[in-house]
Structure 1
Amino acid sequence: MARLDGLATVLDFLNGLQPKIAAQIAKKVLALNVDPLPADSQQLSGYQGYYRVDSGEYRIVYRFFPEEDLVEVILVGKRNDDDVYKKLKRLLG
């Protein structure tokens, strides 16, 4: 099982969401520690080691460090616009 890092980012995002949606996203994030590269994950082009998975209308962006068995959640956001990728670009510079 991989360790999870970045849960504070997830919790901040989940505040204010409907409980059912928040639970779905939390379940998807927690599943990453069992399977860091699930079948529905995709590597982000232009970002080495960064992946994304979808949970309904939301996208979870994370990094996986196989040598450390670590999953670091970077951000969560709506997937129907490019806002997630704009935020990622700002975070990474």
Structure 2
Amino acid sequence: MAKLDGLKRVLDFLQGLQPKIAAQIAKKILSLNVDPLPTDSKQLKGYPGFYRVDSGEYRIVYRFKSKEDLVEIILVGKRNDDEVYKKLERLLE
């Protein structure tokens, strides 16, 4: 099982959501430590080692470091706009 990192950021985000939605996102994130590259994950273009998965109307962006067996959650955001990717660019600058 892979280790999970970045959960503090996720918890802060989840506190503002409805409990049912927050639980769905949390379940999806926790499943990444069992299978860091599920069939519905996609590698981000231009960001080697970065992937995304969807949970309802939310997108989870993470980095998988296979040598360390580590899944690092980078951010969670709505998928219906490009705000998630704009935030990712700002984080990685």
Q: Shared fold (TM-score greater than 0.5)?
A: yes
Runs of 4+ in 1 over 2 A off after TM superposition: none
Does residue 52 of the first structure (1) align with residue 52 of the second (2)?
Answer: yes
Return the alpha-carbon distance in structure 2 between the equivalents of residues 16 and 33 of structure 1.
Answer: 24
Q: Would you say how many aligned residue pairs link Structure 1 and Structure 2?
A: 93
Structure 1 SS opposite 2:22 = helix
Deviations 1:36-77 (A, max 9, x none): 000000000000100000000000000000000000000000
Q: Which residue of 2 aligns with 1:68?
A: 68
Q: Which residue of 2 aligns with 1:85?
A: 85
Q: Could you tell me how far 1:23 is from its partner in structure 2?
A: 0.1
TM-score calculated relative to the size of structure 2: 0.99
Q: Which residue of 2 aligns with 1:25?
A: 25
Return the alpha-carbon distance in structure 1 between the equivalents of residues 46 and 65 of structure 2.
Answer: 17
Deviations 1:2-23 (A, max 9, x none): 0000000110110120000000
Structure 2 SS opposite 1:88 = helix
Amino-acid identity (%): 81
Query: RMSD between aligned alpha carbons?
Result: 0.3
Return the alpha-carbon distance in structure 2 between the equivalents of residues 41 and 9 of structure 1.
Answer: 20
Structure 2 SS opposite 1:85 = helix
Structure 2 SS opposite 1:53 = strand
Q: Which residue of 2 aligns with 1:41?
A: 41
Structure 2 SS opposite 1:25 = helix
Structure 2, unpaired ranges of 5+:
none
- One-letter code of the match for 2:12? D
